[in-house]
Amino acid sequence: MARTSRYLRTKSGRRYKILLILSLIAAVLAVIGAAIAVDVARRIPDGVLRAYFIDVGQGDASVILWNGGCVVIDAGTEASAERLSIYLRKLGVSKIDCAVFTHPHSDHIGGGDNILADFVVKSVVMPDCPYEGESYSELLYYIEKEGCSIYMATPGDEYSFGDVIMTVLGPCTEYGDENDMSAVVKVTYGDIDFMYTGDAESDAEYDIINYWGVDILDVEVLKVGHHGSYTSTTEEFLAATTPEFAIISCGRQNEYGHPHSKTLARLEKAGASVYRTDEDGTIIIETDGVDVWRCVKGFLGRLHRADNKK
Ligand SMILES: [Zn+2]
């Protein structure tokens, strides 16, 4: 009995030492990891822009970073809110020049209140879209509490952040459906254009084509509308936007069946390289304003030149 006790004591003592050593190793790795994360943010050199399509499960959250600036477009779900704030901090973000909340659904603004509480957000752009919802009420509460400047998404409005220009393309009219009310924006850096469509569906897409004509809508990178639902990303919209890269933000094995096989077929026919957060995790696109590079799976992934750059 005594021997067993000693044995247990000795074993638990060893366990304690092993746990202590493992904890120390974990602490050292965490410090190194944090240092690398900060370093990565600082290493965004002049003349480079990085667009992150963050894996927030079944929702949307995008961040655009360049040396000295940050724009956030949508803030994921309530479930991903804390992870999103941690991710932004790891990227070295403290101030956000502009947060675009495309529409009031909780899979786009669920983490909006956290973003407003955790970071200095200079301005907010969102559509004039009345909506009853807890996440939306929280968002409006924090916008007022933090004293952010708020701008209604109006087509033709242009926001300039140094060399980065954001143009509001839609909504072009009022819709009864919140998805179609999505603020659609184009972010331009040099010759490279990114389009973020929120959950805009076919009616909104057709109106954007009619309002703008095809020249303005030609982009290199398209954040595909409504998580790849077949009700968005029409052939006509793809003919107008001609994206080289199409990003679909959706959850693994989501209950909606996003992305739809019809959407994937249309994207393939249009010749776009498709990346999906459910399969690829967080997707990063980097550009110097002339060429586009791509990187998938997290910010420590390797950046390399894309094969089909323009
Ligand atoms: Zn959505």
Residues 6 or more apart whose CB falls under 8 angstroms from that of 273 comprise 244, 245, 246, 294, 306, 308
CA distances from 88 to 13, 94, 114 (A): 40, 8, 11
Å from CA of 12 to ligand 1 middle: 51
pTM for this structure? 0.84
Å from CA of 177 to ligand 1 middle: 12
pLDDT band at 282 (very low <50, low <70, confident <90, very high): very high
Å from CA of 14 to ligand 1 middle: 51
Å from CA of 35 to ligand 1 middle: 34
Q: Tokens 């005594």 identify what position?
A: 2
C-beta separation of 204 from 180 below 8 A: yes
Å from CA of 28 to ligand 1 middle: 39
Is 306's pLDDT higher than 50?
no
Å from CA of 108 to ligand 1 middle: 6
- Residue 5 has a pLDDT of 40
Å from CA of 290 to ligand 1 middle: 31
Å from CA of 257 to ligand 1 middle: 13
Give alpha helix (H) positions in the chain.
2-42, 81-90, 106-109, 112-118, 134-145, 202-212, 214-217, 235-241, 261-269, 277-280
Mean pLDDT of the chain: 87
Q: What is the pLDDT of residues 240-278, one digit of tens each?
A: 999 999 999 999 999 999 999 999 999 999 999 999 999
Q: What is the pLDDT of residues 189-213, one digit of tens each?
A: 999 999 999 999 999 999 999 999 9
Å from CA of 186 to ligand 1 middle: 18
Q: How far is the C-alpha of 271 from the C-alpha of 261, rounded, in Å? A: 15
Å from CA of 275 to ligand 1 middle: 17
Å from CA of 282 to ligand 1 middle: 17
Q: How far is the C-alpha of 86 from the C-alpha of 78, rounded, in Å? A: 14
Å from CA of 179 to ligand 1 middle: 8
Å from CA of 226 to ligand 1 middle: 5
Å from CA of 249 to ligand 1 middle: 9
Give the H or E element holding residue 98: strand 95-100
Q: How far is the C-alpha of 61 from the C-alpha of 109, rounded, in Å? A: 9
Å from CA of 228 to ligand 1 middle: 10
Q: How far is the C-alpha of 218 from the C-alpha of 221, rounded, in Å? A: 9
For residue 20, with 0-12 CB atoms within 10 Å meaning exposed, 13-18 middle and 19 or more buried, which class applies? exposed
Å from CA of 115 to ligand 1 middle: 18
Å from CA of 106 to ligand 1 middle: 8
Å from CA of 59 to ligand 1 middle: 5
Å from CA of 306 to ligand 1 middle: 28
Q: What is the pLDDT of residues 90-120, one digit of tens each?
A: 899 999 999 999 999 999 999 999 999 999 9
CA distances from 225 to 93, 131, 143, 239 (A): 26, 20, 25, 15
Q: What is the pLDDT of residues 128-179, one digit of tens each?
A: 999 999 999 999 999 999 999 999 999 999 999 999 999 999 999 999 999 9
**DSSP character for 6?**
H
Å from CA of 18 to ligand 1 middle: 46
Q: What is the pLDDT of residues 26-65, one digit of tens each?
A: 555 554 444 444 434 456 889 999 999 999 999 999 999 9
Å from CA of 61 to ligand 1 middle: 10
Is 127's pLDDT higher than 70?
yes
